[in-house]
Amino acid sequence: MFDLSLNNKVVLVTGVDDMLGAAICKKLAEAGAIVWIHRFHTNEAVDLHKEIRSMGGLASVITSDLQTANEVQAVVKKIIEQNGKIDVLINYADKSAKTTINQLTPSAWLAAFQVNLDVPFLCCQAIIPIMLGLKGGTIINITSQAASTGDVGPAYAAGKSAFQSFTKGLATEFTGTTIKVKEVVAPISLHDQNSSFQAKNKVMKAVANKILLLCTPYLDEEIEALDKEGLNK
């Protein structure tokens, strides 16, 4: 049986404002992680924080716009002051207001890119030096099927497509290092108003389980073992 424990791992999850974000935080807390739940404007994540605490998990809530490097650095500083490190960054911050091209204003277009692309860029730029100092870390960028399907509107699709390209570039930069950069593509069905709660809940559990797996060294160890097995044949 493989070990999926995240005991004493400090995890920052950005943009936790829906059921999938909550499912991710709860799954990581169940595995023993110290979870920092980020919200943009309000402390609506307080209930999630209480739920995690009630099941014996460790979590804190932090609120910030994350619109500038200084705001991101302030969040990072608070986490470091309290926990001394950041082992995992999960970029989940998302802006998915559906608009047609005629409804889309220049400010709404820029806002979609600011949340879907600029925020994860600023977070990675601030946290990677910390991970390098720790001799390792994991970054998981949660993108969307909309990047390839075009659903949820042109601004969202374009922002997520750019986010996917950013993730590929970052992963290439850190290939062969102790920094792991992974992508998880959220199914477009999570935006489907006709999809049942049961169906969405099943998808959310699957996504949360995949993220937990990527947070552990299990997959890397399995790949290394397969490589060694191949060399020994």
Residue 116 per-residue DSSP state: I
Candidate list 92, 156, 163, 166, residue with the active-site label: 156
Nearest to 4 by CA among 224, 211, 228, 226: 211
CB atoms within 10 A of CB 69: 12
Nearest to 157 by CA among 165, 167, 145, 139: 145
Farthest CA pair distance, the chain:
61
Q: How far is Cα 79 from Cα 39, in angstroms, rounded to an integer?
A: 14
- 156 part of the active site: yes
Q: Which positions are annotated as active-site residues? A: 156
